[in-house]
Chains A and B, each alone.
Chain A
Amino acid sequence: MFEKTLIPVAHGETSEELRKIGRILKSLGSESICLFHVSDADSFFNGSDMSWLLLLKEAIEELGLSVDVRTGSDHIASSIAEAALREGVDEIYLKAKRHWQLRTILLGSVSRDLLRLADTPVFVHKIRPLLPKEKEGTITRDDLIILYATDFDKASNRPLPYVMQFQGSWCHILHVRGRRADPRSEKRKSSRVKEKLTSLEEELRPYYGRVTSEERIGNPANEVLFVSDQIHADVIVLGRSRPAFLSSPMGDTAEQIVTGSKASIFLVP
């Protein structure tokens, strides 16, 4: 499921950094990488020597991964989203920068557009899991803590196969919802949610050393971020529903989580 990954690259990307990324993707099951560069017509670097891309390609190939190099033009986020579909990749990899206090800005408008536009799952790599250092092997799945946020609707059921694929040491399933309007409905709803969570736990048990679940009431973005910090999640897996016309400027749930989280995000459209 994570066999082929598209990594958008820009001028200034170092071979060393790409090697680290390649290593972590390989540990998650990637076998093939598509390096994709979008030439911006207004960019200072436009039309310059593209040999730097070949250097990046070689750096990843050293890890035993097969690499394709592709380029595109026009609107950056749309080009990446289209290329991901065209190349038939399983995911798009985005790395957030390390100036965490300013991460909203540094996630960049391109990344944010891509999160909204992409029809392919997007893996936004943040602080956790830590990238392996140059000579320190790879991330082992035995260390991975996955937080699967779901409200049992269509959008949040789509990531389930990916959650299974991630595997790891611990999968915590989080269901967030609003409180029902009266105690009787609340009790009924709660017991139905518990039933569903238990059955989901059973479904995921073969893939993880430990599977737990919890139900919370409140603002979905806030609760997901809170629980993610509590359990030191490495990756938050969640679905993305098409935002309503007016919700995007205010920031929809997925965007708020991507912006506020220290854990990496695997967002399934």
Chain B
Amino acid sequence: MTHAPSLSPTSPAPASATGFFRRFRSTPAEPASAKRVQFSSPFLPYLFLAPQMAIIFIFFYCPSVQAIRSSFYLEDPFGFGSSFVGLANYTDVLKSTEYLGIARFTAVFTALVTFFSLSIGLLLAVKADGVIRGNAAYKTLLIWVYAIAPPVAGLMGMMMFDQHIGPLVKFAGLFGWEMKVGLNYNDTAFAMIVVSVWKQIPYNFIFFLSGLQGIPVSVREAALMDCRSGFRRFRTVILPLLAPTAFFLLIINTTYALFDTFGVIDVMVKDKAANNPITLVYKVYMDGFRGNDLGGSSAQSVILMIIVFVLTIFQFRFIERRVHYN
């Protein structure tokens, strides 16, 4: 707008002036969040929505429906059509000991990555919030790693855990632990968890710190007067106030560990998944692109879809609640 808006009561009513767009007030049935005033046009909103909807339709709905459809079919490996097999792909997947093993590893991996990245992020945020000197410098240095891609983080991990030059392998050697990342199942799993946690700490740090800084000074001062023990103050006053942030991060970290760690895992197992730990997403990729098992891979995709779906619903319901009480 180039000139100051005029709100004087003598201004002409805009609706008839433009004629094309009709102005109206929303009915009480409308959600409170909607704008009181809106444009009305028979085709403009569709025009604005068209690019987004087209892309969503072609690259989201088509593939998703396709994944669900092919999970009920058995594809001929030589490309001669496919036949309907009902739930056979699902029962095959869920009965396979290999799949169940991978599912177990994924659960352990997700739990450990989430736990450690959350607690280290929280610890650093609480300390950074507490110190005055160097506060900004700590903050800047601690969030760098957020910007690093998971496979690059994996590469850094391979460097730190390298058989010849890795300092962490040498360090573990001091305690008599002969670490063989890439060869030994448990050692590889350990390295994967360390790298995935390292990559995720800054994200949790940022959110916990902004959560801490959102706590009013008056609350802190009141707590300080009531309670001398710093730890007890933290546990009874600060932690409950951080609970919404922590819960939000719990869901985000779970999806991170399930999906975004693909790059870390792919770099660290280097296509030799045979004796190495992998997660469910990596298995979908292996079966679909390396093993050409379209039906099995699709069934696994759908299982993952259900897991994410439940997680996300959980998250949104929770966020709705938080908006209410804030």
Q: Do A and B bind each other?
A: no
